[in-house]
Amino acid sequence: MKLYGALMTLSFIWGLSFVFIELLIPAFGIGGTVFLRCIAGAAVLLPIFLYRWWKGNRPAVLPWKRLIVVGLFNAGLPWGLIALSQTSLTSNMAAVLNASTPIMTGMIGVLLFSVRLQWRQWGGIIIGFAGIVLLTGFRPGEMAGESFIGVGTMLLAASCYGFVSHFTKRYLQGTDVVLLALAGLLVGGASGAVGMLWMGPDSWEQVGKMGFQTAWAVIGLGCLGSGVAHLLYYYMIEQAGAEFASMVTYLVPVTALIWGSVLLGEPVTPNLIYGLLMIFAGVYLSTKKKSHRNRLPAVKAG
């Protein structure tokens, strides 16, 4: 029950993250949103990391080059792309496109990491994504009406998650999860700061003028969505495996719609129920495998 509680908690946190991003972009821009998200998340993880370091939980060799790669492709680049995407797409649309992460993970695994997928895995991924499409009432024919940049950057963000999942599994397996998460947030924060410098001094002035609402959004997106959420995510990987943790990818669009209903008064339609059933069917098929050889690494959702 603890694992399922962690799964649901994480899905609700990451589902709400899309709302927080939408609140922060007008105030701080893309670079500022990434910077504040990463720094707030790092503030949660840093005391835990220092305590574990003091207790002697230290790597014999610090793989800092690989940690930089993880930080760029797990935080800095995808979070910047998501923020850019949400300048032209709604949070619901962004959440739906973000659900393409398992598909992009499988494709990148085949193209770059010599991963071979079973037909059952591909079928489960497709069914799960179809459930999300049904869930939101999204119609593929309307894609042309959306911003090309918004859709493209969201899919690129999903591709970043797919790449870093395989990269971490191959090159950083066994690395302390707190170190992995903290290093990623620090690198992501540095990339966000570079973006703010590129935008000019106005970005830094806006941070200094942070209001009550945006401060709460930073706490929610950074401390919860990037700090606590990372701990929950890696806890599930350690305790139940990558396949179980990857289930959150399918649940985040569900929770994003729930938050829309609670906060924005959006109705809960029959598509919600039918979509849930299809998502769970897809999760079952994509995580039930004949052998360990073809397991996909866990993929992030928010």
Residue 74 has pLDDT above 50, yes or no: yes
State the pLDDT at residue 290. Answer: 54
Is the Cβ–Cβ distance between 40 and 219 less than 8 Å? yes
State the pLDDT at residue 60. Answer: 75
Residue 30: closest CA among 159, 229, 198, 252: 198
- pLDDT tens per residue, range 2-44: 888 888 899 999 989 988 898 889 888 899 999 999 999 999 9
Dist. CA 115–CA 296, nearest whole Å: 8
State the pLDDT at residue 128. Answer: 75
Reported residue count of the chain is 302
State the pLDDT at residue 292. Answer: 47
Question: Can you say how many angstroms the Cα of residue 11 is from the centroid of all Cα atoms in its chain?
Answer: 10
pLDDT band at 298 (very low <50, low <70, confident <90, very high): low
- pLDDT tens per residue, range 169-209: 888 888 888 888 899 999 999 999 998 888 766 766 777 67
- 297 to 22, 56, 287, 292, 300: CA distances (angstroms): 29, 28, 11, 11, 10
Residue 192: closest CA among 20, 24, 17, 33: 33
Q: Which residue has the higher pLDDT, 153 or 144?
A: 153
Average model confidence (pLDDT) across the chain: 80
Is the Cβ–Cβ distance between 178 and 45 less than 8 Å? yes
Question: Can you say how many angstroms the Cα of residue 265 is from the centroid of all Cα atoms in its chain?
Answer: 25
Share of the chain above pLDDT 90, in %: 22
State the pLDDT at residue 68. Answer: 95
Residue 253: closest CA among 40, 29, 19, 32: 19
- pLDDT tens per residue, range 266-297: 666 676 667 767 766 776 676 565 544 455 55
**Residue position matching structure tokens 């591909």:** 122
